[in-house]
C-alpha cells in the first residue's frame, strides 16, 4: 500500500496503557471503603503510597499520560497505519453514504492490550477485532495483526486494512438500520439466525471492498495488495477456521460465510465500488 506515516487519528481511543487485565477484569484490584482505610493507614506507617498500586482504590484506571505508556516505538508505525486506514475509510463513507440517502457519522476505534470493556461486554485479545453497535466503536488489539500473518497466513498491509474496513462496514450497517433489521429478523425466526448472520458478515466484506475500490482508483493499492486482501478474506472463512480448530466443517453452524463466499463478496465491492452491489439479502 502507498501511504505516508503521520499522526494519530482523532477517531482513535488508545487504551493500551490502561493496565487492562487486573482482578475482576476491570484494570486493577477493587476495594471497598474498609480496604481503602487500611491501605491509607499502611501508607502512613510505612511512608509508601499503597493506594496508587490499586488503580485509584477501586475506580477505573487513570488514562495514560504519555506516549511511553502506550507501547514501544515498534508499535507506533502500526498505530499510524491504523490511523491512515481508519481516516481514509471514513472519509470514503463521508462521500458515499449521502448518495444512498444516509449521513455518515464517524465511528471510534479503540486500541487495547489484552483486555478492555465495551458497551457490548468484555473485549479480549482472543476475541479478535469486532464492532460494538451499542457504542459505535471498533475494538482491536494490535497483536491480532501478528496472528493474521502467523496463524491465518495473511501477511501484508492490505490484509490488515481489509479487517479494519470490514469492521467499519458494520458501522455503515448500523447507520443504515440494517443491523437492527437483522437482529429483529433473528428474534422472529431463531432458526434463520445463523443464515442472517452470514449475510450480514458477507455484506460487511463487500463494503470493505467498496473502500478498496476507492483506494485502487487513487492508486493507493495495486494487484499485489488486492491479492493480500482476498487472502485475508479467505483466511477467516468459517470452513477454514472450523477445519483448523475441529478438523471438520459444519456448514449449518456458519456465522460469517465460507472462504469462497467471503472472497466473492469482497471482490464484488472491489469491482463495483457501490453500496448497491452489496445487497447480500436479496
Query: Residue range 55-63: average pLDDT?
Result: 42
Same domain, 49 and 123: no
pLDDT bin (cut points 50, 70, 90) of residue 21 is very low
Predicted confidence at residue 77, as pLDDT, reads 83
Query: Is 6 part of any domain?
Result: no
Query: Is 17 part of any domain?
Result: no
Query: Residue range 141-152: average pLDDT?
Result: 75
Per residue in 33-58, pLDDT (tens digit) is 444 555 555 555 555 554 454 444 34
Is residue 9's pLDDT more than 50? Answer: yes
pLDDT bin (cut points 50, 70, 90) of residue 224 is confident
Quote the CA–CA distance of 193 and 188 in Å, as a whole number. Answer: 9
Same domain, 87 and 39: no
Is the Cβ–Cβ distance between 89 and 118 less than 8 Å?
no
Same domain, 52 and 157: no
Query: Residue range 97-106: average pLDDT?
Result: 90
Query: Residue range 191-215: average pLDDT?
Result: 95
Same domain, 187 and 236: yes
Q: Mark which of 62, 83, 113 sits at the end of a domain.
A: 62
Same domain, 42 and 169: no
Residue 12, number of CB atoms within 10 A of its CB: 18
Query: Is 94 part of any domain?
Result: yes
Same domain, 139 and 257: yes
Is residue 182's pLDDT more than 60? Answer: yes
Is residue 120's pLDDT more than 90? Answer: yes
Predicted confidence at residue 238, as pLDDT, reads 82
Range of the domain at 30: 23-62
Query: Is 12 part of any domain?
Result: no
Global confidence as pTM? 0.78
Same domain, 41 and 138: no
Predicted confidence at residue 65, as pLDDT, reads 39
pLDDT bin (cut points 50, 70, 90) of residue 19 is low
Predicted confidence at residue 67, as pLDDT, reads 42
Quote the CA–CA distance of 101 and 234 in Å, as a whole number. Answer: 32
Is the Cβ–Cβ distance between 275 and 100 less than 8 Å?
yes
Query: Is 192 part of any domain?
Result: yes
Same domain, 46 and 173: no
Quote the CA–CA distance of 171 and 176 in Å, as a whole number. Answer: 9
Query: Residue range 231-259: average pLDDT?
Result: 82
Per residue in 246-277, pLDDT (tens digit) is 788 888 888 898 889 999 999 999 999 999 99
Query: Is 205 part of any domain?
Result: yes
Q: How many domains does the chain have?
A: 2
Query: Is 109 part of any domain?
Result: yes
Query: Residue range 132-157: average pLDDT?
Result: 81
Q: Mark which of 38, 62, 86 sits at the end of a domain.
A: 62
DSSP secondary structure of 229-263: HHHHHHHT-HHHHHHHHTSS--GGG-SS--HHHHH
Is residue 24's pLDDT more than 80? Answer: no
Is residue 196's pLDDT more than 50? Answer: yes
Q: What is the mean pLDDT of the chain?
A: 81
Same domain, 87 and 225: yes
Same domain, 90 and 112: yes
Same domain, 126 and 186: yes
Sheet holding 130-132, edge to edge: 12-14, 108-112, 137-141, 130-132
Q: Mark which of 62, 90, 118 sits at the end of a domain.
A: 62
Same domain, 52 and 80: no
Is residue 228's pLDDT more than 70? Answer: yes
Query: Is 212 part of any domain?
Result: yes
The percent of residues in the chain predicted with pLDDT above 90, rounded, is 46
Amino acid at each position: 500500500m502507498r501511504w505516508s506515516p503521520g499522526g494519530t487519528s482523532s477517531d482513535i481511543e488508545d487504551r493500551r496503557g490502561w493496565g487492562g487485565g487486573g482482578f475482576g477484569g476491570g484494570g486493577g484490584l477493587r476495594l471497598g471503603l474498609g480496604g481503602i482505610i487500611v491501605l491509607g493507614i499502611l501508607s502512613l506507617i510505612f511512608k509508601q503510597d499503597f493506594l496508587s498500586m490499586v488503580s485509584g482504590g477501586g475506580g477505573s484506571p487513570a488514562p495514560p499520560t504519555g506516549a511511553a505508556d502506550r507501547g514501544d516505538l515498534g508499535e507506533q508505525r502500526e498505530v499510524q497505519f491504523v490511523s491512515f486506514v481508519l481516516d481514509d475509510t471514513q472519509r470514503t463513507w463521508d462521500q458515499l453514504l449521502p448518495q444512498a440517502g444516509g449521513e455518515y457519522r464517524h465511528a471510534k476505534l479503540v486500541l487495547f492490550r489484552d483486555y478492555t470493556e465495551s458497551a457490548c461486554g468484555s473485549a479480549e485479545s482472543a476475541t479478535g477485532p469486532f464492532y460494538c453497535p451499542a457504542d459505535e466503536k471498533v475494538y482491536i488489539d494490535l497483536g491480532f495483526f501478528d496472528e493474521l500473518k502467523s496463524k491465518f497466513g495473511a501477511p501484508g498491509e492490505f490484509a490488515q486494512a481489509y479487517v479494519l474496513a470490514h469492521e467499519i462496514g458494520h458501522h455503515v450497517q448500523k447507520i443504515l438500520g440494517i443491523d437492527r433489521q437483522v437482529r429483529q429478523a433473528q428474534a422472529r425466526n431463531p432458526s434463520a439466525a445463523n443464515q442472517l448472520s452470514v449475510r450480514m458478515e458477507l455484506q460487511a466484506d463487500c463494503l470493505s471492498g467498496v473502500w478498496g475500490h476507492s483506494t485502487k482508483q487513487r492508486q493507493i493499492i495495486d494487484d499485489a495488495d488486492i491479492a493480500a486482501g482476498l487472502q485475508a478474506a479467505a483466511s477467516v472463512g468459517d470452513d477454514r477456521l472450523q477445519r483448523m480448530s475441529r478438523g471438520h466443517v459444519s456448514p449449518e453452524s456458519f456465522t460469517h460465510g465460507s472462504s469462497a463466499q467471503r472472497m466473492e463478496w469482497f471482490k464484488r465491492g472491489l469491482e463495483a465500488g457501490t453500496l448497491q452491489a452489496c445487497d447480500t439479502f436479496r
